[in-house]
Structure 1
Amino acid sequence: MEPQGEAFRQGTASKKHAPRSIALAGNPNVGKSTLFNALTGMHQHTGNWPGKTVEQAAGAFQTALHTCRLTDTPGTYSLMAQSPDEKITRDFLCFGGAEAVIAVCDASCLERNLNLVLQILELIPRTLVCVNLMDEAEKREIQIDLHALSRGLGVPVIGVSARNRQSLYALTEALDKLLDGPRPVPAPVPYPASLEASIQLLEPVIQRSVNGLFPARWLALRLLEEDASLEAGLQDYLGYDLKEEPSVRQALKEAHAVLNTSSLSDTIAESLLSQAEKLACQTVQADPDKARKTDRFLDQILTSRLFGYPAMLLLLALILWLTIAGANYPSRLLSELLFRFQDVLTSAFVRLGAPDWLHGLLVEGAYRVLAWVVSVMLPPMAIFFPLFTFLEDMGYLPRIAYNLDHAFQRCRSCGKQALTLCMSFGCNAVGVTGCRIIDSPRERMIAMLTASFVPCNGRFPALITLITLLMLFLAGTDSSGALVFSAVPALLLALLIAAAVGTALLVSSLLSITLLRGLPSSFTLELPPYRRPQTGKILVRSLLDRTLFVLGRAISAAAPAGALIWVLANVRIGDASLLSLCAGALEPFAALFGLDGVILLAFILGLPANETVIPVMLAAYLQQGVLAEAAALPNLRELLVSQGWTPVTALCTLVFMLFHWPCATTLMTVRKETGSLRWTLLAAVLPAAVGLALCFLIAQGSALLTSVF
């Protein structure tokens, strides 16, 4: 059953008819997903940065007269599609069966949004223009004459604030009138005389050929443009090649003879922009100096050449310091609680007379690893995600992409890759999917292959633990209390993340001059206005949608891994357990890179989810030793020292945690996006090769220095 928006369930008419199909379209970052969530009651992810929605989402909502099925399409600046997400939007509007469109605009930058609105009106006249963010426009002293805009476009226009659900009643009422009333007749976009003459030649012929399936004027423009991908879709939809129809072929020949332009696409784009500018001048009143005064002041600092990069590093270091300092005490409490519960489980198994193997498999294996995952991962994520979401909601992520654009251009890749790397900090698989916003197939492939070079949320708790352990190895156990609140671990982690981004840039450059040669393409990045973050929604989205989702995925992978470790440790062949045999077999290879067999085995078993690597590693070590207090770092250090760890081991494990093969989810996403096993294998090999190479240099360099001194 489709979820329905709570505020729109009080319909009065019979709901026996089939749902009306409505498309939601608009530029990136105009509040489409927020409006979608408000109408349907769903929880499509929202964010204050462009390119977030790269797939369609569908839900249902109720107006007073209709049940509607609403489809949220990826944000696009034009229906002259170049990137995969733009083609998704265009193809749905063309062939998805939408009866009407809600075209969402940003009230604070209406002129830029009207370009897409005019294109939508040419394709689907039954369109409701929704001018969103009216509250922000009012704060910026921007006034919009909605009635004049409606007259200029020839379709209904409604002003809303999607964050305020009460303002959406007027939208649903207008939608009912649009669905039940006569089809609007939008004002046509005036094109140059030669193009208008060509359209006049084609329109009547196309009208007879497609029998009203598409607006003849729109289809005439598309046939004149000769867009191969759209023509292929038209042929599949119609069941025949329209251009091969004798009458259409003759009309096209005559129309091309009349055209007097060297670049038809540019001519059409210029006409659309000119009409959008004209409408905006007639309907919008604003003082440009007042509209974005605060934004310009902040951008002079956060995007300047002098302060842009230091600001990024300082913000990252601050977030990481808050995460590390704030997570230690909750982690210890959780660990004590969960490991006390292990004793309760053991007593219960004893009272029930359960066999030892069952207790070992479920409690000492599966439960122990689960306890480690929850106690080590939950507190850092519960702090990091809200802070990261705060920056996202404020509008800072696109500024990071802007700052990094020049660096990516120097590496012959697309500046949009910076946005996909920001997505990868949340989840590498999401970063791979986000690469659809990149137009060039070559640059899209580079972005997908390097998405896993930045650590995802699943690796952050492990990186924090390993950095603190490395500091303990170097400073001694007496410094553990000071290290918890020291800024040094946070600064080290910030430098590691900066190194990961730098490595992604370097690998992108190497791919651009070897396997994926080519020149970088230019792109337009919209810097959204700074917005006051919504604290309540940030907490819900970061804690429920992100933290619990990631934790759930980790738990589902950790329990089987823990049970497997227990089986490997307790099934013996001769005098040796399977665990020691597997670790021993990997030992010679792992030793070359400063690791041991157990560490490498943990990374292999952690393929389903990176979050489980440290817990699986400790579970393997605990088959031979006892950890008195799981969350106490000095005790953890003692356990690792008893297993042969040195500062070099800790450093190599830290480096390999930063650079190793992606999780299974990410690899499956790469396989889905590329359709190629070869590129999927390369996506796994590249970060692992970098990690192993760095570990080899560290281990062998350390051994050389030790032998010399």
Structure 2
Amino acid sequence: MGLTNTSVGMGAVDSGLEIRKQAPTDKVVAIAGNPNVGKSTLFNNLTGMNQHTGNWPGKTVSNAQGWCKTGRHGYVLVDIPGTYSLMAHSAEEEVARNFICFGKSDAVVVVCDATCLERNLNLVLQTMEISDRVLVCVNLLDEAKRKHISIDLNALSDELGVPVAGTVARKKKSLDRMMDQLDDLVDRETALTPFKVQYDPLIEQAIHIAEPAIRAALCGKIPGGEAADAGEAAVGEMAEAAAISPCCDSPAALSPRWLALKLLDYDKSLMDELKSYLGFDILEDPAVAAGVEAARDYLKAGGLRPEQLKDKIVSGLVKAAEAVSRKAVHFQKEGYNDGDRRLDKVLTSKWAGYPIMLALLALVFWITITGANYPSALLSDLLFQVQDRLLGVFHYIGAPEWLTGMLVLGIYRVLAWVVSVMLPPMAIFFPMFTLLEDSGYLPRIAYNLDKPFKCCHACGKQALTMCMGFGCNAAGIVGCRIIDSPRERLIAMVTNNFVPCNGRFPTLIAIISMFFVGVAGGAGNTLLSSLLLTLLILFGILMTFAVSKALSMTVLKGVPSSFTLELPPYRRPQIGKVIVRSIFDRTLFVLGRAIVVAAPAGLLIWIMANVYVGDLSLLAHCSAFLDPFARLMGLDGVILMAFILGLPANEIVIPIIIMAYMAQGSLLEFDSLTQLKELLVANGWTWVTAVCTMLFSLMHWPCSTTLLTIRKETGGWKWVIASFLIPTLCGIALCMLVAGVAGMLA
């Protein structure tokens, strides 16, 4: 029921109102913080919800909502997206900013990382400019202790003027102490006096000029006829009102000082939200317009240009954070972070970083391939035994053959194939991927790949979405939300399909094993399969770079944007939680979506294989029609038809090929790759066919789930069509090139 990344407008307010309706007596509390500070872990342990937590920036891309209770209050906790600043540049940052500003929460808990408190205070100071109901939660005190960093929580509270709680999010006792302080905060009858950032004197005076008219407009104290005169007086008599009490009559309960600063540093998206929230455009108030214009003229006369204002504001926040941190944070040991830096010198170096990435990728594939074989066989045996029982039941009740065929040999058999082929590799791959994520290594991959992507006029964060695509391309598309620039986000979406998802791995591994390694098995052959698969995926990554460059130079022209990427500290992964989280949050979720699209695909395949026109089935007719074009690509009509019918789920491509070659009306299961290779060779397969099939599997249209996800994320069909055509045309061209060269060399 939380806010999604599309709820960046008044969805924040609507969500707050909806919470009030559902729990009128409960207190609404926003949980804010930078990425990687343990915010979602704290949220999960308080509410008992199993929201996914990640150790790389931008992981939380929607608001999650949960409930907890203390001795005094019930709380609705809203876990808003991690953000470094309320100066929003992305959809996630807008979600965070809008909920804090307009969500009507009773308090805001800002979670900070004790190991890098100074950087986190930037968000704390910005939040305190909006609300005086702020609780600072200094988390990860255990990690700070290991690095010999001590935080004087009382001194920090005295400096900030708001309560400060120290926590280790995984330990319930520390969270209980924090909730006691939250009770005291929401029960407090008198307002707190939070630390006020002192900006450049020019900016302070400009705020002083603009603030009185804004305060009066929010409080409704200036009738329209007197507004202009009030604006004239803003520079003079009314300036003294700026330091009086907050505008308690304001329907928005917004800070006039903060709003004055935001009107000077004009942000259109924030102004649009403000207009919707207040019900009027505050800049249309003549007094406010006159006051803001006078303040801007003052800045201009002082030599501060509009484009310099934001830098000066950020500089003021940074200096204030430094001053506060200096009084509260103490380092008991020099070089407390040396271990992480030594690792980074290796893992992010120009010469070692890329080989280590490829070696880890090959290792993950090797473990996945080796570990998935046995459970996949067991699961297949189990599911096909169930099929036999179902056939027996249908025959016992006298069901028509066509109904038995559609439901059991069509729908159920396809589902059995998908589950037995997908589940074991995903159950291994996703936990391995999450371990890398939890340890803090994935941001290092993004750092390493930032330069190549920048050369392509794309964004380095695309590396993270590309990594997610290895598990599921649809998940990779959703992950593109972390990319701020709309242009670069589209590039990442269109090219995400160049990395093979989990559903394409079985086809690639089977062909590599049959035609290039050998089907005898063993550790050596499995390792060689992993290396060849890694090389194939490396080619897909190079194609990602090439197509990203082409798009950025043509239809998606633009200058690459810069971004802040935090390299979080290396952490020991929580293996138990990783396994549980990966299975339930990723593996079963992706498998469920595959099953939804595979069931109707099974029905269609059965109908095409069992409805005859003349002596041939519809499937055979379609394959024969496609055969001449497929031969140009080094394939045949059956293979191309299998890819087309595999649109709902890539896992069923090989089963369709088997079914068509054997002229059967239902999918068949082979006992070994040796038998499968004999069937393929008997139907004309050569090493050229194998290579072209792998290349086309690597580069062809995304599955239907991914296409629908692109439609949802982009809001139209234009980029869905582009995402369909671009990899497909690349795959066709490359297959034709390989087939043509092989034909000339033959």
Range of TM-score over shorter length: over 0.9
Match of 1:322 in 2: 367
Residues 557 and 612 in structure 1, CA contact (< 8 A), matched pair in contact too: no
Residues 593 and 705 in structure 2, CA contact (< 8 A), matched pair in contact too: no
AA partner of residue 337 (structure 1): L
Report Cα offsets for 1:369-425 as digits up to 9, x if no partner. 222222222222222222111111111100101111111111122222222222222
Match of 2:435 in 1: 390
1:49 and 1:669 map into 2 onto residues whose CA distance is: 22
1:627 and 1:420 map into 2 onto residues whose CA distance is: 34
Match of 1:291 in 2: 336
Secondary structure (helix, strand or coil) at the match of 2:549 reads helix
Alpha-carbon shift at residue 368 of structure 1 (Å): 2.3
**Which segment is superposed worse, 401-410 or 695-704?**
695-704
2:342 and 2:489 map into 1 onto residues whose CA distance is: 33
Match of 2:58 in 1: 51
Residues 369 and 526 in structure 2, CA contact (< 8 A), matched pair in contact too: no
**Is residue 579 of structure 2 the alignment partner of residue 539 of structure 1?**
yes
2:739 to 692, 699, 704: 699
AA partner of residue 292 (structure 1): N
Report Cα offsets for 1:463-511 as digits up to 9, x if no partner. 2223223326xx5xxx523477431110011111211111111111111
Secondary structure (helix, strand or coil) at the match of 2:521 reads helix
Change in Cα spacing, 1:437 to 1:554, as seen in structure 2 (3 Å) is closer
Count matched residues. 689
Change in Cα spacing, 1:646 to 1:584, as seen in structure 2 (3 Å) is same
Match of 1:8 in 2: none
2:104 and 2:206 map into 1 onto residues whose CA distance is: 28
Change in Cα spacing, 1:381 to 1:434, as seen in structure 2 (3 Å) is closer
Residues 557 and 608 in structure 1, CA contact (< 8 A), matched pair in contact too: yes
2:655 and 2:40 map into 1 onto residues whose CA distance is: 37
Change in Cα spacing, 1:354 to 1:505, as seen in structure 2 (3 Å) is same
Residues 554 and 611 in structure 1, CA contact (< 8 A), matched pair in contact too: no
Residues 610 and 665 in structure 2, CA contact (< 8 A), matched pair in contact too: no
1:550 and 1:617 map into 2 onto residues whose CA distance is: 24
2:333 and 2:475 map into 1 onto residues whose CA distance is: 37
Change in Cα spacing, 1:118 to 1:682, as seen in structure 2 (3 Å) is same
2:357 to 302, 309, 312: 312
1:274 to 298, 302, 319: 319
Secondary structure (helix, strand or coil) at the match of 1:487 reads helix
Change in Cα spacing, 1:667 to 1:518, as seen in structure 2 (3 Å) is same
2:114 and 2:215 map into 1 onto residues whose CA distance is: 36
Secondary structure (helix, strand or coil) at the match of 1:528 reads coil
Q: Percent identity?
A: 57
AA partner of residue 199 (structure 2): Y
Alpha-carbon shift at residue 650 of structure 1 (Å): 2.0
2:258 and 2:491 map into 1 onto residues whose CA distance is: 35
AA partner of residue 166 (structure 2): G
Change in Cα spacing, 1:606 to 1:256, as seen in structure 2 (3 Å) is same
**Is residue 255 of structure 2 the alignment partner of residue 215 of structure 1?**
yes
Alpha-carbon shift at residue 623 of structure 1 (Å): 4.0
2:639 and 2:333 map into 1 onto residues whose CA distance is: 59
Alpha-carbon shift at residue 346 of structure 1 (Å): 2.7
Match of 2:484 in 1: 439
Match of 2:167 in 1: 160
TM-score by length of 1: 0.93
**Correspondence list, 1:559-570, <5 A:** 559-570=599-610
1:194 and 1:90 map into 2 onto residues whose CA distance is: 26
Change in Cα spacing, 1:500 to 1:59, as seen in structure 2 (3 Å) is same
Alpha-carbon shift at residue 520 of structure 1 (Å): 1.7
Alpha-carbon shift at residue 643 of structure 1 (Å): 3.4
1:77 and 1:232 map into 2 onto residues whose CA distance is: 22
Secondary structure (helix, strand or coil) at the match of 1:104 reads strand
Match of 1:189 in 2: 197
Change in Cα spacing, 1:326 to 1:436, as seen in structure 2 (3 Å) is closer
**Is residue 536 of structure 2 the alignment partner of residue 496 of structure 1?**
yes
Alpha-carbon shift at residue 189 of structure 1 (Å): 0.5
2:38 and 2:651 map into 1 onto residues whose CA distance is: 33
Q: Which runs of 5+ in 1 are unaligned?
A: 3-14
Alpha-carbon shift at residue 277 of structure 1 (Å): 0.6
**Correspondence list, 1:137-536, <5 A:** 137-182=144-189, 183-211=191-219, 212=250, 213=252, 214-259=254-299, 260=302, 261-262=304-305, 263-287=308-332, 289-471=334-516, 475=518, 479-482=519-522, 485-536=525-576
Alpha-carbon shift at residue 245 of structure 1 (Å): 0.6
Change in Cα spacing, 1:29 to 1:442, as seen in structure 2 (3 Å) is same
Match of 2:246 in 1: none
Secondary structure (helix, strand or coil) at the match of 1:21 reads strand
**Is residue 631 of structure 2 the alignment partner of residue 591 of structure 1?**
yes
AA partner of residue 404 (structure 1): L
Aligned alpha-carbon RMSD (Å): 2.2
AA partner of residue 416 (structure 1): K
Residues 507 and 651 in structure 2, CA contact (< 8 A), matched pair in contact too: yes
Report Cα offsets for 1:153-184 as digits up to 9, x if no partner. 11111111112233211122221111111332
Residues 110 and 137 in structure 2, CA contact (< 8 A), matched pair in contact too: yes
AA partner of residue 125 (structure 2): L
Q: Which runs of 5+ in 2 are unaligned?
A: 3-21, 220-249
Alpha-carbon shift at residue 621 of structure 1 (Å): 4.0
Residues 49 and 392 in structure 1, CA contact (< 8 A), matched pair in contact too: yes
Secondary structure (helix, strand or coil) at the match of 1:23 reads strand
1:658 to 698, 719, 728: 698
